[in-house]
Every structure is written in structure tokens, then in C-alpha cells.
Amino acid sequence: MAVSGGPSVTMSRHFVVDTQNVNLENPIFGVRIVGPSSGRKLKGKVGTGVRAVVQVGFEESKRSRNLKGLEGTFKFDVVSERELREKGFLGMTKTKLVCTIGPACCSSEDLEKLALGGMNVARLNMCHNTREWHRDVIRKIKRLNEENGFCVSVMIDTEGSQIHVVDHGAPSSVKIEEGSVWLFTAEKFDGSRPFTVQANYEGFSEGIKVGDELVIDGGMACFEVIEKIGSDLRCKCTDPGLFLPRAKLSFWRDGKLVERNNELPTLSTKDWADIEFGISEGVDFIAMSFVNDADSVGHLKNYLSTKSAKSIRVLAKIESLESLQKLEEIVETSDGIMIARGDLGVEIPLEQIPAVQEEIIYVCRQLNKPVIVASQLLESMVEYPTPTRAEVADISEAVRQYADALMLSGESAIGLHGLKALAVLQMASSRMESWSREESQQQLLKQRQLGVSLPDCIAEQICNSAVEIANNLAVDAIFVYTKHGHMASFLSRNRPNPPIFAFTGEESTQMALNLQWGVTPLLVDLTDNMEANISATVDVIKSKGLMKKGDSVLVVSDVIPTRDTPMAFQAIQVKTIH
Ligand SMILES: Nc1ncnc2c1ncn2[C@@H]1O[C@H](COP(=O)(O)OP(=O)(O)OP(=O)(O)O)[C@@H](O)[C@H]1O
Ligand SMILES: CC(=O)C(=O)O
Ligand SMILES: [K+]
Ligand SMILES: [Mg+2]
């Protein structure tokens, strides 16, 4: 969609940068609008070849005269390139897809199919399988990225500490009849002992009283505690159902959860060993299970920086009652959030999950952290080749709420139709994205100002305004040049209509941005000369035939101070392609 002959716009209106909350210690701060005749206010139609520039900085900066050429060139990952070629800018999917890798999809061929199917992040759940198995999968993914031109990030998900069943006397599920009496113990037993269940943690019954309710997997079956013998519990089934392997145990009293995770560390000795493993294998994300407070997240982040692994992003999994109570501080401290609805449903009544999900997504957007909606999105597809209508509605709701990413668990890890499930995720999210656009439901967020320092405030406001401009002008794409990904992430936070192409010189930034809504991260050697960076990247896309005359892009760049440009500034430019 070219802007040539497009809507008449009063450029100056869009470029108002809200400086109300900015601490204006520096009096030279201001907005400069550069039109075709520099210095004059630009008013009227945006036509082909017209370029408008807004610069915000501490003072008008000197243009670098050192027009060095671009050192390197960038490569599209094969999936983004194909998607752009097939569907055009507006057709690119915004919602990111995470797939859990398990025995059903761990061969190189399977992983390649998932990558081609749109997997942005591969998740390895350290609860299962051996470290050697995980290492093998990580290396296969890295090889595919390198040799086949994919861009798939790797996430490990810690096992965490949780009370669950180790042994219920059978390899798969066991039926629980109404009225049957079972012994729950932490002691290991050999072979099969009927009506006996081993829990993983010897303190599992601490503080539990006769009369408490024991709930299996958030409602798969219920028991009443009828006797306490030492630390063992004798329980009578009040609501029949099933024990699955690793079934989770929660205790309830007077309709309220008996909170108990405090006794267990968020990161166990095994988790620390898995984290070491993740660092040595160069993973991009660590998802921390059963986070209860911000301190544990901060602790892991500090640890990673002492290990020179600061670029690994830490995602806090929200799956306990306690984490909900401390949501804001956890979101603030972490690099992103996973709404782990599976375990969350064990800790809070199921009917609260939809509202809690919406609230978490809202808080994450406010604080500008990527958020993944996880678990049971397409549960029926573990077995069946088509989803239920309710599942499609669930996916659509998460997309409508503007979650950054959706995650498959068992659907890809052990399911019979993992690839199909991925296709359903992509189709359903892409449909809802375009619907949202058509319905123009995208009002700008009533945003909280996040920046504290003046440069941070400027970057944030620039991105908010840039998205408004991009939507109003209906540009085809937004280009952002970014080192650490902050500007790209602020653009994504505004959920713009056009796709965001984030050019970065840092591989860790590229891999981290893989999780952010609407962002296609591209690795490129950036020089200090932003004009040269812009024209070189545009040239590459043009030379691939992915952009044509009349297409328009909005460019957001961050010029870092150098000897030639001693002042840092950010600029928004709208360019049409000749
Ligand atoms: N690496 C693996 N090896 C074997 N089975 C796996 C593996 N990863 C996942 N699975 C299987 O897929 C199912 C769903 O996987 P997933 O990791 O999402 O479980 P989960 O219980 O929801 O996650 P979490 O333990 O983090 O709460 C698991 O129950 C397990 O049977
Ligand atoms: C993903 C996960 O950990 C859960 O849903 O519990
Ligand atoms: K886990
Ligand atoms: Mg979980």
C-alpha cells in the first residue's frame, strides 16, 4: 500500500512528542521536523519521493560526513523471507509460536518441518528426558539455523519444585473409583502396591490436617484426608477420576488453597545443573518454573551476568497463587512471562484463568515485557487431527488480547499431529490479527511511561508516535535499527498494523526479539552511519524483489554518539521506495 496519492495528512500533528512527563533538565531538547525544504513545517500530501524526518535529541546533531559504506549485509531467515514473498507485508503473522520439543518431533527432519511451519522458539522441558537428549536437540536446532538459514531460538524450561506423583503403581494412567481409600506416602516402594501413591517430596503432608481436600491435577480427581499416619496420608476418593504420570497434588481447606510452595526452593540443585547446561549450550531463554517472587528471578539474572551469560533472557512462569499476588514486581524483574495455565489451574479455580490471563497480558504490555500464553491451546490435537471449536476460540482470544506468543506443549512434544497443530495456531492467529486490523480495534494503549532517564523517555515516546504515524499513513512496514532491541520492543508494545523489521548487530538481540509480537529480527553489520545502514538494508530487500516502487516504510533509528555525531538522537523517517 503506497502512500502516494494517499490520505492528506498534517504531518506536524502526528509528530507531537508528549514531553509532559519528561524531566526537561536540558533546555535544548526539542523536536525538529525536516521536510523537503529543511526547517519548514511540512503540511500536505505525502507523495512518492517525499521524505519527512522527525528528530528528537538533546540538540540538533551534526550529520555524519563520513559516509562509510555498509560493512556487511544481512540475511533474511528463510521462513520470514518466504512469508513476506507469499503474503506481502501486511500478511505477515505477528503472533510468535513456541513449540515444546519431545519424542514426537526431535529428529532433524521433524525440527526442520516445525521451523518451516513457523516455529520461532523451541522449548525444552527439563522435567523430561536426559541432558544428552536435550543437548542433541539443541545442537540440531543450531545446525539448522546455521546451515539451512532458519532463525529458531532455544528455551529451556526448568523442572522447578512442585509436589507431584512419582509412582502410582502403573506406567500410564490409573483409574480412581469413588469411595476407594489410598495411601499417599513419600516412601519409595517396589513393584506394585495397590492403592498406594508415592509423592516426590517428603514434606508433602506438612501442615495438612484430617478433613482437608486433596485435588489431583486441578480436578482430575478429589480425595478427603481421613487419617494422618506420621507423614503419610490416608485419603478417600470423593470425586472419581484418573491418576496420570507426574500428577500434581494440591490441598484445599474451606475452599482455599493450602499454600505450601514456600517450603521448596524455586530453583533446585537439579535446576541449577540444568541452567549450567543451558549456559554451556548457548540457549536464548530460560523459563523459570514456579516463580514465587521477584527475588528469585533477580537472583538468576545476576547469576547469569556473573557467568557472562547476560544475553540469556529469563522468563518467569506464572503458575502459582503467590506469583499472581506479586505479579507486577515479577514482570518488572524478568525479561518476559509465560502464563503456564496448566499448573496455574492446579492453584486457582479454573474459571478464574481467563480473567487472570487477560490481566497478566495487560500488565506485561504496560511494562513492555513479552508474554507467552501456554498449555492446552490445542490439547485435543495430541490425539485428533482437528481442533475443537472451543480450542480455536481460545487461541483467537489470546491473539485478540495481543499476547506476544502462543505455545504448544504435548501437542508437539508427544502428539500425533504436531505440525498440523502448529498450522492451526498460525492460521487462527493470522485470521484474528487481520480481523483486529479490519475492525480497527487497535486503540493506542493508555500507556504508562516506563522510561526514567531522558533518553529512555525519548525512545519510548518516539516509538509510541512512530506507531501512530505508521498506522495513520498505512505504511507497508516499520524498520527499526536497534542494538539491544529496546526500540523494537517499544514499537511491538504498541501492536502496530505493519510488520516491524528489526535490524540489529547483536545476535543475542536477534534471538531475543524472536519472541516479540510482530517483530522480524534481522542480523546485520550496522555502521555508525545510519543513513548508510538504512539505504543498504532497503537495497537488499529491494534486490530480492520483496519491495517495489511506491511501497512505503517508516524508519525508526537510534543514532549513537560518535566522534562525527557527538549527540545521540532518535529519528522517525517515512520513506517511499523509488
Ligand atoms: N523431552 C521430552 N521427553 C519426553 N516427553 C516429553 C518431553 N517433553 C514433553 N514431553 C511430554 O509432553 C507432555 C507435555 O509437555 P509439557 O512439557 O508441556 O508438560 P507440562 O507438564 O505442561 O509442563 P511443566 O512441567 O513445565 O508444567 C508431558 O506430559 C510429557 O509427557
Ligand atoms: C507450561 C507449564 O509449565 C504449565 O502450563 O504448567
Ligand atoms: K517445566
Ligand atoms: Mg508448569
**Given this model, what pLDDT does residue 20 score?**
33
Grid coordinates standing for 145?
539455523
Q: Which helix (H) or strand (E) holds 281?
A: helix 269-281
Rounded to 10 degrees, the C-alpha dihedral 379/385/388/391 comes to: 40
First to last CA, the chain: 14
Measured in angstroms, how far is the CA atom of residue 125 from the centroid of ligand 2? 10
Percent of the chain clearing pLDDT 90 (strictly above): 65
Residue with CA closest to ligand 1 atom 27: 343
At 360, is the secondary structure helix, strand, or coil? helix
**Given this model, what pLDDT does residue 105 score?**
98
Q: How far apart are CA 232 and CA 467, in angstroms?
A: 59
Q: How far apart are CA 512 and CA 284, in angstroms?
A: 7
**Given this model, what pLDDT does residue 65 score?**
31
Does 44 sit in the ligand 1 pocket, CB within 6 Å?
no
**Given this model, what pLDDT does residue 54 score?**
55
- The model's pTM: 0.80
Going from the C-alpha of 353 to that of each of 139, 243, 348, 360, the distances in angstroms are 36, 23, 8, 10
Q: Determine the atom of ligand 1 nearest the C-alpha atom of 340.
A: 27
Q: Determine the atom of ligand 2 nearest the C-alpha atom of 317.
A: 3
Going from the C-alpha of 6 to that of each of 2, 44, 45, 498, 515, the distances in angstroms are 7, 11, 7, 16, 33
Give the chain's residues under pLDDT 50. 1-52, 56-71, 441-442
**Given this model, what pLDDT does residue 18 score?**
30
Domains belonging to the chain, first-starting first, are: 8-78+444-576 (3.40.1380.20), 93-161+265-438 (3.20.20.60), 165-263 (2.40.33.10)
Does 264 sit in the ligand 1 pocket, CB within 6 Å?
no
Q: How far apart are CA 248 and CA 217, in angstroms?
A: 5
At 413, is the secondary structure helix, strand, or coil? helix
Q: Are 510 and 153 in contact (CB under 8 A)?
A: no
Looking at the chain, how many residues does it have? Answer: 578
Going from the C-alpha of 370 to that of each of 66, 110, 230, 317, 427, the distances in angstroms are 37, 27, 46, 12, 21
Q: Determine the atom of ligand 2 nearest the C-alpha atom of 376.
A: 5
Does 291 sit in the ligand 2 pocket, CB within 6 Å?
no
Does 374 sit in the ligand 2 pocket, CB within 6 Å?
yes
Q: Are 129 and 137 in contact (CB under 8 A)?
A: no
**Given this model, what pLDDT does residue 90 score?**
87
Q: Angle 108-116/131-148 helices, nearest 10 degrees? A: 50
**Given this model, what pLDDT does residue 189 score?**
80
Residue with CA closest to ligand 2 atom 2: 340
Does 497 sit in the ligand 1 pocket, CB within 6 Å?
no
Dump pLDDT digits (tens) for 95-131: 999 999 999 999 999 999 999 999 999 999 999 999 9
**Given this model, what pLDDT does residue 565 score?**
62
Q: Determine the atom of ligand 2 nearest the C-alpha atom of 343.
A: 6
Does 99 sit in the ligand 1 pocket, CB within 6 Å?
no
**Given this model, what pLDDT does residue 422 score?**
98
Ligand nearest to the CA of 341: 2
**Given this model, what pLDDT does residue 443 score?**
56
- By CB neighbour count within 10 A (0-12 exposed, 13-18 middle, 19+ buried), where does 422 fall? buried
Other residues' Cβ atoms within 10 Å of the Cβ of residue 171: 7
Does 410 sit in the ligand 1 pocket, CB within 6 Å?
yes
Ligand nearest to the CA of 342: 2
Q: Are 120 and 152 in contact (CB under 8 A)?
A: yes
Residue with CA closest to ligand 1 atom 14: 410
Residue with CA closest to ligand 1 atom 29: 410
Q: How far apart are CA 325 and CA 274, in angstroms?
A: 28
- By CB neighbour count within 10 A (0-12 exposed, 13-18 middle, 19+ buried), where does 474 fall? middle
Does 248 sit in the ligand 2 pocket, CB within 6 Å?
no
Measured in angstroms, how far is the CA atom of residue 340 from the centroid of ligand 4? 6
Which of 98, 100, 319 gets mutated to test ligand 2 (max ligand atoms within 8 A of its CB)? 319
DSSP secondary structure string for all residues of 460-511? HHHHHHHHHHHHHHT-SEEEEE-SSSHHHHHHHHT--SS-EEEEES-HHHHH
